Amino acid sequence: MILITGASGQIGVDLADELVARHGPDTVLVTDLRMPEKLRPNRVYDVLDVTYMESVEKIIQQHSIHTIYHLAGILSATGERYPELAWNVNVNGVRNVLEAARRFECRVFWPSSIAVFGPTTPKVSTPQSTVTEPGTMYGVTKVTGELLCKFHTTHHDLDVRSVRFPGIISHAAPPGGGTTDWAVDMFFQAVRHRHYTCFVTENTRLPMMYMPDAVKSVLDLMEADGDRITIRTSYNLTAFSFTAGELAAAIQTHIPDFSVDYQPDFRQDIADSWPESIDDHHARDEWDWQPEYDLDAMVQDMLHHVRIRIEKEAAEAAIDSDLND
């Protein structure tokens, strides 16, 4: 069976859907700190706190896990507020998963981030191998995790694969506590209120990717021939880069009366310390990475799905209020 940790998070929800679609029902064990409110059919759920080694080992053993998508983690903005929590979940979590994977001979996918880079890293077309001196605790945990992954591959022959995700844009599950969350929030506020107050400046440019491509990248990498995988820390990866102002303009081509004002907060400093664009040629050359969505295609598809979601939520709320009357 396949184990997903942190499966209620932004990536986990979409990745679980795709894994079930590919491998069939009852092949995916979906875990998080708490059970989700709405359970999906054809899914096996359990509760897992990855900071407890015994719990990680027990679940792997109980369900005969062979592959782990270890997604449980604290994102950058939350990590700045709660650095000890970020260290505990992100570093002890990945350490426990890698140790257990070694013992039970599992393959592992683990997401790293552009947050491994910092103010001293070249900002444009950031290379694979460069300075990794992050300014955030989140970045510190991701650099540590990358090195642990490499250590387990070289010392224990574990098959761990990883990518440095840029900001990910999605509609199924919201991101929580990230610096790139503005790129998701903007869509929901555009559809709901025709206005968004953005927490980074108009000219803040960051590398990004649409969720279908993020899921595809994970599965492409996991399915790639092991001989082709030369990076055992974490692969640079990107689809496109845009500024907050450019995303607003792209949304305005569909919603002309949409407006944005900019009120940067503490997340601006984090965004400013990250690259504007990423050189991901290793992923493209070694496992044929190729994103399918450009900015315009992503914006069109996001707006379509965000509208459906908001209409569905409104209909559900109306039913609930009728029932309560």
Min separation Cβ 115 and ligand SER, Å: 5
Comparison of 140 and 158: residue with beta carbon closer to ligand SER: 140
Q: Is 179 in the site for ligand SER (CB under 6 A)?
A: yes
Give yes or no for residue 113 binding ligand SER (CB under 6 A).
Answer: yes
By CB under 6 A, tell whether 165 contacts ligand SER.
yes
How do beta strands 240-243 and 205-210 pair?
antiparallel
CA angle 49, 169, 87 (to 5 degrees): 30
For 76, the token pair is: 């950058």
- If one asks whether residue 238 binds ligand SER (CB under 6 A), the answer comes out as no
- The residue count of the chain comes to 325
Quote the least distance from Cβ 270 to ligand SER, whole Å: 8
Question: Which range binds ligand SER by CB under 6 A, 122-130, 178-186, 226-234, 309-317?
Answer: 178-186
> In the stretch 43-82, what mask flags binding to ligand SER with x, by CB under 6 A?
--------------------------------xx------
115 binding ligand SER? (CB under 6 A):
yes
199 counts as binding ligand SER under rule CB under 6 A: no
- How far is residue 133's CA from residue 119's CA, in Å, rounded to a whole number? 8
Quick check: is 196 catalytic? no
Query: Catalytic pick from 69, 138, 196, 262?
Result: 138
Question: Can you say whether the dihedral through the CA atoms of 83, 87, 88, 89 is positive or negative?
Answer: positive
- How many residues bind to ligand SER according to rule CB under 6 A? 10
Span of 82-90, 100-108, 173-181, 208-216 interacting with ligand SER by CB under 6 A:
173-181
Minimum distance from CB of 178 to ligand SER (Å)?
Answer: 3
Q: 10 Å Cβ neighbour count for 131? A: 14
Separation between Cα atoms, residue 231 and residue 234, nearest integer Å: 6
Tell me if 120 sits within 8 A of 272, measured CB to CB: no
Q: Shortest CA distance to 287 belongs to which of 236, 233, 224?
A: 224
Burial 132-142 (b: 16+ CB within 10 A, else e): bebbbbbbbbb
Identify which range of 32-40, 176-184, 197-205, 317-325 contacts ligand SER by CB under 6 A. 176-184
8 A C-beta contact, residue 294 and residue 250: no
Using the minimum distance from each CB to ligand SER, give the nearer residue, 98 or 184: 184
Q: Of 97 and 237, which has the nearer Cβ to ligand SER?
A: 237
What is the distance, to the nearest Å, from the Cα of residue 283 to the centroid of all Cα atoms in its chain?
Answer: 17
| Residues within the interface to ligand SER (CB under 6 A) | 75-76, 113, 115, 138, 165, 167, 178-180
State the catalytic residues: 138
